[in-house]
C-alpha cells in the first residue's frame, strides 16, 4: 500500500507529474509547430536527409561528393566536430597541466610566464583568437614551396600543416583545422590550468610534508601523492571545460571549417527545413555532452576514496 504521508513518496510522485507535464508540453509545441507549417504550405519532416546534398565538402574523413545524401553530409560534419574536439581535449589537458604546475613553481620567471599566459588567453574572446590564428595561417605564413619546416617532420605554410613522415602517405591538415584546434587548445588550456592549480592547492600540506619525509622528490611527490588526491577535486570542473570546448567548436563556421554547424547552415539554406536542421544539431550536441559527462563521471567514481567495510 502506498504511504502518502512519506516525504519520499511525495517526492517521487512530484517528479513523475513534472516529467509527464514536460513531455506533454513538448508534444503540444511540436504538434502546433507542425500544424502551422502545414497551414503555410511549408514542407516539414526528415525525409530530406535521403536527398542528394548537392554540395561538396572541402574536408572530410571519408570521400564525399555532391551526389551523396544530406545524412552523410551531417555525418561528415559530426566526424569533423569530433576530430577537433578529441584532439583539442587531449592537447588542452596536457598544456593545462603544465601551466597549472608552472603557476605553482618556485621559479619566479616560470610562474610569471604561466600567469601571463593564463590572463592573456582567457580574457580575449575565443572568436577573436580563432580569427587571428586563421589570418596568421593564410596571410602571414609563406607559400608551400617556402614552408617553415622542422627537418622532414613538419612543414607549415599557407596550405596548412604537413606531417610527411606520419602514416603511409603523410598527413596534411588544412589552415581551418589548424586554426580551430590551436585556438580551442590555447583558450581552454588557460581555464584547465586554473582547475588543476586549485586542485593541487586543495591537497593538505601534511600530505606534501609526508611525501618529502620519506624521501620523494618534488616530481615524485606530485606524481604519486599530490595529483592522485587532487584529481577528486579537479575532475568535476574539468568536465565542464571539456564540454565548453566541444560546444565552442561550433565557432568553426567563422573560419570556414566544415563542422556540424557549418554543414547544417548549408543544408538549412538549401532545404528550408530550419526546425529539423536545428533539432539535429541540438540532439547531437546534447548527446555529445551527455556522453562526455558519463565518461568523466565514471572516471571520477573510479578514483573516489572508498571506505573499508
Quote the CA–CA distance of 80 and 78 in Å, as a whole number: 5
At 305 the pLDDT is 62
Tell me the residue range of the domain where 182 lies: 44-302
Over the chain, what is the mean pLDDT?
A: 88
CATH of the domain at 282: 1.10.3720.10
Is there a domain that residue 294 lies in?
yes
Cα-to-chain-centroid distance, residue 160: 22
Choose between 39 and 15: higher pLDDT.
Answer: 15
Model confidence, pTM:
0.84
Assess if residue 90 is contained within a domain. yes
CA–CA dist 299, 238 (Å, integer): 12
- Helices then strands, counting H and E runs in the chain, come out as 10, 4
The answer, yes or no, to whether residue 89 has pLDDT greater than 60, is: yes
Average pLDDT (132-137) is 93
Is residue 26 included in any domain, yes or no? Answer: no
Flag whether 32 is in a domain. Answer: no
Confidence of residue 309 (pLDDT cuts 50, 70, 90): very low
> Which is more confident, 78 or 14?
78
* Tens digits of residue pLDDT in 166-188: 665 878 889 999 999 999 999 99
Q: Is residue 15 part of a domain?
A: no
Number of separate domains in the chain: 1
Q: Is residue 248 part of a domain?
A: yes
- 211 in a domain, yes or no? yes
**CA distance from start to end of the chain:** 34
H or E, element range at 98: helix 70-102
CA contacts within 13 A on the Cβ side of 41: 0
Is the pLDDT assigned to residue 192 strictly greater than 70? yes
Query: What are 238-260's pLDDT values in tens digits?
Result: 999 999 999 999 999 999 999 99
Residue 142 C-alpha cell reads as 609563406
The verdict on residue 148 lying in a domain is yes
If phi over 0 gives left and psi between -120 and 50 gives alpha, with beta otherwise, what is residue 125?
beta
**Among the listed residues 106, 304, 89, the one whose alpha carbon sits nearest the alpha carbon of residue 191:** 89
Of residues 213 and 289, the one with the higher pLDDT is: 289
Amino acid at each position: 500500500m502506498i504511504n502518502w504521508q512519506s516525504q519520499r513518496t511525495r517526492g517521487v510522485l512530484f517528479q513523475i507529474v513534472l516529467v509527464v507535464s514536460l513531455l506533454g508540453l513538448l508534444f503540444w509545441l511540436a504538434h502546433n509547430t507542425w500544424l502551422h507549417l502545414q497551414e503555410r504550405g511549408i514542407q516539414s519532416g526528415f525525409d530530406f536527409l535521403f536527398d542528394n546534398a548537392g554540395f561538396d565538402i572541402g574536408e572530410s574523413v571519408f570521400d564525399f561528393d555532391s551526389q551523396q545524401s544530406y545524412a552523410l553530409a551531417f555525418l561528415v560534419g559530426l566526424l569533423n566536430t569530433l576530430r577537433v574536439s578529441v584532439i583539442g581535449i587531449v592537447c588542452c589537458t596536457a598544456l593545462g597541466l603544465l601551466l597549472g604546475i608552472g603557476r605553482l613553481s618556485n621559479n619566479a620567471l616560470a610562474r610569471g610566464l604561466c600567469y601571463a599566459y593564463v590572463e592573456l588567453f582567457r580574457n580575449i574572446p575565443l572568436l577573436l583568437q580563432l580569427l587571428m590564428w586563421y589570418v596568421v595561417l593564410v596571410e602571414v605564413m609563406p607559400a608551400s614551396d617556402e614552408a617553415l619546416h622542422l627537418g622532414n617532420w613538419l612543414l607549415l605554410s599557407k596550405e596548412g600543416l604537413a606531417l610527411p613522415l606520419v602514416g603511409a602517405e603523410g598527413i596534411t591538415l588544412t589552415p581551418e583545422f589548424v586554426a580551430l584546434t590551436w585556438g580551442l587548445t590555447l583558450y581552454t588550456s588557460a581555464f584547465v590550468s586554473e582547475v588543476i592549480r586549485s586542485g593541487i592547492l586543495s591537497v593538505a600540506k601534511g600530505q606534501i610534508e609526508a611525501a618529502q619525509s620519506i624521501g620523494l622528490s618534488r616530481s615524485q611527490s606530485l606524481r604519486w601523492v599530490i595529483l592522485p588526491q587532487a584529481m577528486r577535486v579537479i575532475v568535476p570542473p574539468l568536465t565542464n571545460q571539456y564540454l565548453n570546448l566541444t560546444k565552442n567548436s561550433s565557432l568553426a563556421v567563422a573560419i570556414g571549417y566544415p563542422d556540424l554547424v557549418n554543414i547544417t547552415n548549408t543544408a538549412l539554406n538549401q532545404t528550408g527545413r530550419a526546425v529539423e536542421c536545428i533539432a539535429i544539431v541540438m540532439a547531437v550536441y546534447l548527446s555529445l555532452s551527455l556522453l562526455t559527462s558519463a565518461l568523466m563521471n565514471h572516471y571520477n567514481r573510479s578514483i573516489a576514496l572508498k571506505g573499508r567495510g
